[in-house]
Chain A
Amino acid sequence: MKLRQTLLAGAIAFAPVTAFAADLTIGFSQIGSESGWRAAETTVTKQEAKDRGITLKFADAQQKQENQIKAIRSFVAQGVDAILLAPVVATGWDEVLEEAQDADIPVVLLDRTVDAPDDLYLTAVTSDLVHEGSVAGQWLVDEMDGADCRIVELQGTTGSSPAIDRKTGFEQAIAGHDNLQIVRSQTGDFTRSKGKVVMESFLKAEGGENICALYAHNDDMAVGAIQAIKDAGLNPGDDIKIVAIDAVPDAHLAIANGDMNATIELTPNMAGPALDALEAFLADGTTPPKWIQTESKLFTAADDNQAIYEQKKDLGY
């Protein structure tokens, strides 16, 4: 069923999701479905629009900017009330955003921002990557409560902005706590298998018993690392504390099983705040702030992770 949906979305550029009794028609230009998170964002956006009785015109750009520009032009031609845009790259949007502005159609950016004058769009709804890292760091500070801790870090893809910002945020949070020290830091490319391989080398280079915590820039690497820690005869979540970012379903499952300690959510619900802002703006002209930051929620063993897993697993992650 889902396969057919994917195929359909790929085959037809515009698959209007119909909802009845709709006051508003909103166009959504999505990047594509390059990751599970992206697929979940699409699912949640469609759901949010449906719940509000908004007609959502959905366009999958297959990772190409020209498809997004085409989609926005077509939304403008169709005279939609507003446009949601998850931009695939940061540059090259000025012209098409001006066209939307000339047609008096507000544009809200989702998840990523663009290099264009900020009067060309209504607002941007994104997470704060640095803040995510600092929530992770703060969790470890509180968890260790002054005890000495040698930390290993699995970085994201070298040079990518999530890797840089999540590292910065974590380092800011643990700065000034001399009991916490990052002893090894290497890239795991955001993937499970690299996470496992690099963790294997950490365990040998430092000695598993000398590592007290693992900070991974995403959950997938943490899930890979958990397997490496088990292979080394250690108990992940207990012998080595694990904190990561994203809160994908498998991370909730790992926390429920006691293999992992904490994860910080990168919410796929960017559309909720975006549609709130749009509805207020279209109703009485309330101008939202230029940047709406989504919540970076911390999940630990104190939450009912099994239930969250069941809830999240069908979102398309």
Chain B
Amino acid sequence: MIGPKHSTFKRILPQLLILAAALAINLVVFPDFFDIDFRNGRLFGNLIDVLNRAAPVAILCVGMTLVIATRGIDLSVGAVMAIAGATSAAVVVEGHGWVTALLAGLGAGALCGLWNGILVAVLKIQPIVATLVLMVAGRGVAQLITEGKILTFSNEGLIHLGAGVVAGVPTPILIWMALGALVIFVVRRTALGMLIEAIGINERSSRLAGINSRVLLVCVYLVSGLCAALAGVIVAADIKGADANNAGLWLELDAILAVVIGGNSLLGGRFSILASLIGALIIQSVNSVILLSGMPPEFNLVIKALLILAILVIQSPRISYLMYMLRASGPQPQPDTAPLPKTQKEEAQ
């Protein structure tokens, strides 16, 4: 038991250190950053905001990590969020309950995922192109559902999913943590995770080895669609309305970024959902720095780009290797066995 746990910790250590650094920058910009108090029946503080506002990207990156592990990519998640949010809103506006609305939203997401999966796994269209179809068309579908306006609703049950609290903790935080834990449990306590990695490393040999890669690929895109739908329902519930134009806009890029910051390769293969989730928290911490710094909005994207660039440069294999060499230059260097996470740990210290 100690073995695997230790290696998991080693795997996510660089991400944890970067997260700590990002939170430290927040503290420098805004000294009361870690203050949390209880107000109006809910926990109130910047740290809670980071956890809460990371929810959409965190939920997206669970599905995205699996898709990327199969050497694919899902560009449609932002549009699927809009579709699912619009579907749920339309269903509650019709007078149905929130459970029906949630299921309808998830159903819409599952259909979108299935569509992507069939294009990729059955028709063998390259994932980036296959999912681009829905990325472009999906927002139009969502607009047809909302008839072009912001579809507002007042169903307390549905609103609770996005804006409510359970024991003082905002519901989205609980949802993304539970989802993350569930999916990690399923892929790591069964052979599923390994099979997904096998497809990503070499689909052909995995198929020859007896893996039903076609079905598995469809399922992976299906899961990504479901995750996107859940994120979409939460985002709509948060503002008590489905905004087909703006819900999830560009979030597919943040989700991919979270997976990359999580140290996962876009070339597929080994993956860590936990590291991607920390990646999502890192992105939200960076957003938090921008908001708290009080800089004019013209600088927003520049600051974000610089911070992300710094994170990626530190994580790049060449820099990691250099750091390793620097550290090892005293005693005996062993470049052949340079373990990536270890060097990053050293560097960040």
A168 at the interface (CB under 8 A from B): no
A189 at the interface (CB under 8 A from B): yes
B8 at the interface (CB under 8 A from A): no
Which A35-61 residues sit within 8 Å CB-CB of chain B?
A: 35-36, 39
Complex CA gap A194/B144 in Å reads 23
B294 contact from A7, A39, A184, Cβ within 8 A: A184
Report whether B163 and A205 are in contact in the complex, using a CB–CB cutoff of 8 Å. Answer: no
Contact with B along A235-269 (1 / 0, CB 8 A): 00000000000000010000000000000000000
Minimum CB–CB distance for B151 against chain A, Å? 11
Report whether B163 and A227 are in contact in the complex, using a CB–CB cutoff of 8 Å. Answer: yes
A231 at the interface (CB under 8 A from B): yes
A204 contact from B45, B147, B149, Cβ within 8 A: B45
Q: Which residues in A have their C-beta under 8 angstroms from that of B53?
A: 197, 200
Report whether B148 and A189 are in contact in the complex, using a CB–CB cutoff of 8 Å. Answer: no
Report whether B245 and A7 are in contact in the complex, using a CB–CB cutoff of 8 Å. Answer: no
B238 at the interface (CB under 8 A from A): yes
Q: Number of contact residues on A: which range applies?
A: 35 or more
Q: Which residues in A have their C-beta under 8 angstroms from that of B345?
A: none
B245 contact from A2, A35, A233, Cβ within 8 A: A35
Complex CA gap A193/B183 in Å reads 28
A231 contact from B40, B148, B240, B241, Cβ within 8 A: B40
B39 at the interface (CB under 8 A from A): yes
Chain A residues touching B, majority SS: helix
Complex CA gap A196/B178 in Å reads 25
B238 contact from A3, A159, A196, Cβ within 8 A: A196
Report whether A158 and B46 are in contact in the complex, using a CB–CB cutoff of 8 Å. Answer: no
Report whether B147 and A205 are in contact in the complex, using a CB–CB cutoff of 8 Å. Answer: no
Q: Which residues in A have their C-beta under 8 angstroms from that of B300?
A: 158, 187
Complex CA gap A232/B40 in Å reads 7
- Known contacts A224-B239, A233-B39: A316-B247 contact under CB 8 Å: no
- By a beta-carbon cutoff of 8 Å, the part of chain A in contact with chain B is 2-3, 6-7, 33-36, 39, 155, 158-159, 184-187, 189, 191-194, 196-198, 200-201, 204-205, 220, 223-224, 227, 230-233, 250, 316-317
- Enumerate 27 A-B pairs (CB-CB under 8 Å) in ascending A order: A3-B144, A6-B147, A6-B148, A34-B245, A35-B148, A36-B150, A189-B246, A191-B245, A192-B150, A192-B241, A192-B246, A193-B239, A193-B246, A193-B247, A194-B246, A197-B53, A200-B53, A201-B288, A201-B292, A204-B45, A204-B46, A205-B30, A205-B294, A227-B240, A231-B44, A232-B44, A233-B40
Given contacts A34-B245, A155-B297, A192-B239, 8 further A-B contacts (CB under 8 A): A158-B298, A189-B246, A191-B246, A193-B243, A200-B53, A220-B150, A232-B44, A316-B148
